[in-house]
Each structure stands twice: as C-alpha cells, then as structure tokens.
Amino acid sequence: MARTEGDRCPGVLAVHQAADGGLARVRLPGGRLTAAQLDVLRVAAAELGDGRLELTSRANIQLRGLAADGPRELSDRLYAADLLPSIAHERVRNIMASPLSGLDGETRYDVMPVVAALDEALCDRPVLAELPGRFLFALDDGRGDLAELQADVAVRALDERTALLSVGDLGVRVGWSTVPELMLAAAEAFLRVREQEWRVAEVAGGAGRILESLGLRSVDVAPVESTRVVAGVHGTALVVTVPLGSLTQEQAAALGEVRVTPWRSVVVPAGTRGLEEVGLVTTPDSPWEGVTACAGRPGCAKALADVRTDAAKHLIPRGGRVHWSGCERRCGKPAGEFVDVVAVGDGYLVDGERL
C-alpha cells in the first residue's frame, strides 16, 4: 500500500468534496503569485468555482464550488500558468517563507531565492512525492514570524552566512549554500523513519533520528518569540488584510503581484491604490485585523452555523486573533494563541463561555 494512501489533504486533482462542491487547494511556495498567475486563479474561480479565492493558514489559495469536471480543467490552466510544475508533487510543495523577506529592514537574509531553489529541487526528486500533504518546510528570514507554525523542517536566518536548520525541536547551524540540499535530505530521512505518521513530531525520537542519519550533531533549539505582520506599510511593501481571507472577484482584480501570508493577508508594493474602495484593509486598526473563520454553513456539511456571516455581525476590535469555527474541528485555526469562538448548535462558546 502506498503510504500516501489515506492522506486526505486536498490538492488540485485530489479535491475535497464539500457541501458546496469540490474544494481545490493550490500550493504557492513562498506564497508568491505574479499578477498574471493571480488573474488565472481569479478567472478560474469565476468560471469553474464560486468566484472567490480563499487564503489559507499556510499561505495557499483554495477554490470552492467546483463541478465534477472542474479539477481537470483547473489543473490544465494551472499547468499553463506555471502553478503546477509537477503533478506528482502538487500536494507536497508546502514551502512557507517570511512574507516580507527582502522588503523591509527586518530581513537578516532574503530567503525567497532559497524557496525557489528548494521548490525546484523538491520537484526533481520522485521519492519526495511520497511526503504527506501536511509535511511543512519553512524558511524564516530571521524575524521569527514563522516560529509558531511548527514546521517539520525549518531554517531561520542567523546572519548572511549562516542559518539554524531545525527538524522538530532540534537544530544545527549550517551555511546557506547547503540549505536546500539539507532540507530535502531531512525530508527523505523522514520518509525512511516514518511508519504511517504525517509529521516529524509524531515519530518517536524522529528529529534526533533524522539529524543523526544526516551525520549532523544537533542542539536543542531555544524557542523564539513569534512576531506577526499586521496590515500597513512595511518598508517597500504594503500588507493588506483580506476580510475572513476570502477574496472577491473585484478584490482579486484590484491586486497585482502578491505574496500570500499565513495571516489571511497579502503583501503588495507600497503605494498600491484603490484597495480600501473594494473592501480590503490597509491599516492595523481595522476590526477585521486578526479575525478568521472556517467555511461554516452552507459550504461545510458539518457546520452548526453560518460563522462567516455571524463573525461579520460581531466584529469587535480586540487587538489579538479571533477564530470562528462551525464545529469543534476548528478548521483553519491560527497557530499560537487566539480567542476561540465555536458554534454549538444554539449559539456560540467563546473560550468555553456562552457568547
């Protein structure tokens, strides 16, 4: 039995059948989309799906409401737009990067070129198509913004020459030139030590066994304080919050080249105009800042409420993160601390208390 069997993580071809039709997830290494690629996704959402583009907590994009023949047509369009470089690897290109890398004064080392090299090398290795769809690579430019995502294999910039390579909770200092090869070698080692586990943390002693098999002497990695990028101007970039992470046709058409973040926002060039007019948020004081929600009704058959409509009705600036869920599964919840709003059939619980 192929060990990817039972992996229900959706992709473009292996879509998830939701109550509102097929749900396809498009992986975006580094969260990057050219203006032309974003337009391909926008038009595909209009012609094949429900018209919206959903941003995910792993900086990917989802299309919903696909008909039975939608995934085939979508994959053809994505292939032509260079968004599907390897069909075999489409669900394993889970490569996140600091969205502001190279764009503001907080970058110790620009990781975006490393993302491109890692993605290309990943797609060149047939064995890595066996990785679970949840296995995550992360490249942090030194600011600590990806720390709470708990990637399986991560690097964090220490300076222009060195990075801390982490596998689970163990790490080792390495030179940048070795990073793509070592990250992929660690992923291959994971495939050798795993049985049916999806993540490194689920394998008993997994991090130590993986680093040992690579001949690397590891040290415990001290936790870094996690930072989150909020809406507003950061150096040469503008971070734009997308209410509930769902881009309408009009909003998608107002954007050009973007980097999708894990916080339901996108990075565009500073000075981009016309975004507030279409309902996008460009300042950190908006009540939408930090508010996320799962699909809820009517998109999800398990939902006990229309959480998106209810979240919009109860917008209160809280200065932190709030996640609304239609049931206890809490899909799409943010990493780290958040106010937990869960539908229970006759209302909501907020951190366990009645709303």
List of residues contacting ligand SF4 (CB under 6 A): 294-296, 300, 302-303, 325-327, 329-331
Nearer to ligand SF4 among residue 142 and residue 296 (C-beta) = 296
Nearer to ligand SF4 among residue 83 and residue 295 (C-beta) = 295
Buried b (16+ CB within 10 A) or exposed e, 97-133: bbbbbbbbebbbbbbbebbbebbeebbeeeebbbbbb
Smallest gap, in angstroms, from Cβ of residue 298 to ligand SF4? 11
Nearer to ligand SF4 among residue 154 and residue 327 (C-beta) = 327
Report the distance separating Cα 20 and Cα 191, nearest Å. Answer: 35
Nearest-CB residue to ligand SF4? 326
Report the distance separating Cα 9 and Cα 136, nearest Å. Answer: 13
Smallest gap, in angstroms, from Cβ of residue 335 to ligand SF4? 16
Nearer to ligand SF4 among residue 206 and residue 326 (C-beta) = 326
List the beta bridge partners of residue 342: 325, 349
Smallest gap, in angstroms, from Cβ of residue 348 to ligand SF4? 12
The closest of 204, 208, 209 to 220, measured between CA atoms, is 208
Smallest gap, in angstroms, from Cβ of residue 327 to ligand SF4? 3
Nearer to ligand SF4 among residue 129 and residue 335 (C-beta) = 335
Smallest gap, in angstroms, from Cβ of residue 60 to ligand SF4? 16
